[in-house]
């Protein structure tokens, strides 16, 4: 292998490793829960959730504002999900949500 091909191969390998690490870090920050209610009209989802480490929040059931209507997708009551939430303007805002099986 020529030096240029070696550098390209190493660059591609490192890029792939960085991408994998970024995806892992993102999913590691996600919490798990179960949908109790979907209110698309009101822009809210009620979740029974485990600990949300990023917010130092214990397990409970609560209502979250949904950042964008596209997040609702085909979600329905009873679905197990993984989600990310942030505090924005004093509200807990759901910024990402996926079925728990999609890891």
State residue 102's pLDDT score.
56
State residue 54's pLDDT score.
86
DSSP 3-state assignment of 73?
coil
Angstrom distance (rounded) from CA 41 to CA 60: 23
In a domain, 1, yes or no: no
Angstrom distance (rounded) from CA 86 to CA 83: 10
Residues 6+ apart with CB under 8 A from 16: none
In a domain, 77, yes or no: yes
In a domain, 17, yes or no: no
State residue 65's pLDDT score.
95
- Where residue 66 sits, what CATH number does that domain have? 2.40.50.320
Number of domains in the chain: 1
> Is residue 33 exposed (0-12), middle (13-18) or buried (19+ Cβ within 10 Å)?
buried
pTM of the model: 0.70
Rounded average pLDDT per 10-residue block, the chain, 103 residues: 66 55 51 96 96 93 95 94 93 93 60
């Amino acid at each position: 292998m020529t030096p240029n091909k070696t550098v390209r191969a190493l660059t591609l390998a490192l890029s792939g490793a960085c991408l994998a690490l970024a995806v892992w870090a993102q999913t590691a920050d996600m919490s798990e829960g179960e949908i109790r209610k979907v209110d698309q009209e009101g822009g809210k989802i009620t979740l029974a959730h485990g600990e949300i480490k990023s917010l130092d929040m214990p397990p409970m059931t609560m209502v979250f504002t949904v950042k964008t209507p596209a997040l609702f997708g085909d979600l329905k009551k009873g679905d197990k999900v993984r989600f990310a939430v942030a505090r924005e303007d004093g509200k807990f805002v759901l910024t990402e949500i996926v079925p728990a099986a999609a890891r």
